[in-house]
Amino acid sequence: MCTACLTKTLPTDDFAEHLVGMLDGAAVIQMLSIGHRTGLLDAMAELPPGTSSAIAHAAGLNERYVREWLGAMVTGGVVAYDPATREYHLPPSHAALLTRASVSNIAATAQFLPVLAGVEDDIVECFRAGGGVPYSAYPRFHQVMAEESDMTVVAGLEEHILPLVPGLTDQLAAGIDVLDVGCGRGHGIIALAEAYPNSRFVGLDLSKDAIAYARDLVVQKGLTNARFEQRDLSGFDPDERFDLVTAFDAVHDQADPAGMLAGVAKALKPSGTFLMQDIAGSSDVGNNVGRPLAPFTYTISCLHCMTVSLAQGGAGLGAAWGEELAQKMLADAGFSKVMLHRLDHDILNAFYVAQR
């Protein structure tokens, strides 16, 4: 991006139109989140064109609220409407991006913004006084993050992510030791444990609630090759060694990301591999101008990733730490070989394969 592009100012009328468009877009995102949580979008994907009463009945919801929600969806360009019959319809091409049947469910991702808006008062105070907002202030975050992980990690593990490490699937099939740091609710580890019963899996995370959820899921599925432990990864000093360590969207919000990466290097057996997924983009904000989802990344970082680290007295690295800094920190942690990969279908994430 050229310097002139960075400093270019939109004409007043165009900028006003731009702002109005952003307000409309933000409102639609809020309603997409509600449509996802209530099941309205999933229900409409299966229904023929119908009135608000028919849709509300099929979804088991209150008609008055459904009708107002449909108003936002129609004027927001999400749902089609026939004024003659007063019937609403979710086109299949839209449903493909907005329902649980899709691994590209934007409505699920839309949940992040209302979740993060719940801490706005606390964030405003942090702007004035510094400090951060703790994990405990985000009661739904791990639930929403697990849904996102299902789409960005779990759904792509076999086809896209594991093949980034040559021979890894064969090693997993034969049986190796695997650690996932910052595992959250553990969906990624559990999927691997199910697919590769000869391998042994450990998940570590700071959140007591997330670990409890993961442990319950292991019991429900009857898995014997996966276990989860609550652990603060600041100054991570491992007491076990692993063939593979993974970190899915977990490094940048740690209190001590440098210490965690150094601990990961120690946790690897001599021929082991660290597979890290994190947010794609540059460490220089100027290089991110025009990048899809860049404003989304900085917003989530400010309202969650950065502030939860600062709340622990941490580095406050944030989701927009960037590929340049990520590679430098991996090298500083003791990784002599680092390969950066992008996946064609994933515009949000970068993948790093690192070895000592």
For 238-282, the pLDDT digits (tens) are 989 999 999 999 999 999 999 999 999 999 999 999 999 999 999
* pLDDT at residue 5 in the model: 46
Q: What percent of the chain has pLDDT over 90?
A: 87
pLDDT digits 0-9 by tens, 99-151: 999 888 999 999 999 999 999 999 999 999 999 999 899 989 989 998 998 88
The C-alpha atoms of residue 161 and residue 250 are separated, in whole angstroms, by 16
* pLDDT at residue 11 in the model: 55
pLDDT band at 4 (very low <50, low <70, confident <90, very high): very low
Q: For helices 208-221 and 141-152, what crossing angle results, to 10°?
A: 50
pTM of the complete model: 0.90
Whether 203 and 178 have beta carbons less than 8 Å apart is answered as no
* pLDDT at residue 180 in the model: 97
Question: Using alpha carbons only, how large is the chain's radius of gyration in Å?
Answer: 22
Domains of the chain (ranges; CATH) run 3-100 (1.10.10.10), 115-355 (3.40.50.150)
pLDDT digits 0-9 by tens, 284-299: 999 999 999 999 999 9
- Whether 10 has a pLDDT exceeding 70, the answer reads no
Whether 302 and 127 have beta carbons less than 8 Å apart is answered as no
Q: What percent of the chain has pLDDT over 70?
A: 97
The C-alpha atoms of residue 273 and residue 178 are separated, in whole angstroms, by 10
Task: Identify the H or E element spanning 213.
Answer: helix 208-221
* pLDDT at residue 68 in the model: 98
Dihedral-angle region of residue 288 (phi above 0 means left; psi in -120 to 50 means alpha; beta otherwise)? alpha
Name the token pair of 143. Answer: 């639930």
pLDDT digits 0-9 by tens, 154-167: 999 999 999 999 99
- Whether 12 has a pLDDT exceeding 90, the answer reads no
pLDDT digits 0-9 by tens, 58-82: 999 999 999 999 999 999 999 999 9
Q: What is the mean pLDDT of residues 200-224?
A: 95
Residue whose tokens read 């900028």: 15
pLDDT digits 0-9 by tens, 31-60: 999 999 999 999 999 999 999 999 999 999
Give the amino acid at 57. Answer: H
Name the token pair of 274. Answer: 């660290």
Instruction: Tell me which residue of 174, 222, 227 sits closest to 198, measured CA to CA.
Output: 174
pLDDT band at 13 (very low <50, low <70, confident <90, very high): confident
Instruction: Tell me which residue of 154, 160, 307, 181 sits closest to 237, measured CA to CA.
Output: 181
Q: What is the mean pLDDT of residues 169-187?
A: 96
